[in-house]
Amino acid sequence: MEDWYKAGKLTSSARDYGKKLIKENASLLEVTEKIEKYILDNNGELAFPVQISLNEIAAHYAAYNNDIAIFKKNDLVKLDLGVAVNGAIGDTAVSVCIGCDKSEIIQAAENALKEAINVIRAGITLAEVGRVIEGEIREMGFFPIKNLSGHSMERYMVHSGINIPNYDSSEKNKLVEGMVIAIEPFATNGDGFVRDGKVSDIYRLIEKKNVRDMSSRRILEYIWNERKTLPFSKRHLLGKFSEFKVNMALRSLSNLLYSYPHLVERSGGIVSQAEHTVLITKDGCDVMTL
Catalytic residues: 80, 91, 151, 159, 184, 275
The Cα–Cα gap between 240 and 246 comes to 9
The Cα–Cα gap between 198 and 189 comes to 22
Which DSSP string corresponds to the chain? -HHHHHHHHHHHHHHHHHHHH--TT-BHHHHHHHHHHHHHHTT-EEEEEEEEEETTEEE---PPTT---B--TT-EEEEEEEEEETTEEEEEEEEEESSS--HHHHHHHHHHHHHHHHH--TT-BHHHHHHHHHHHHHHTT-EE-TT-EEEEEBTTBSS-S-EEESS------B--TT-EEEE--EEESS-S-EEEEEEEEEEEE------S-HHHHHHHHHHHHHHTTS-EEHHHHHTTS-HHHHHHHHHHTGGGEEEEEEEEETT---EEE-BEEEEE-SSSEEES--
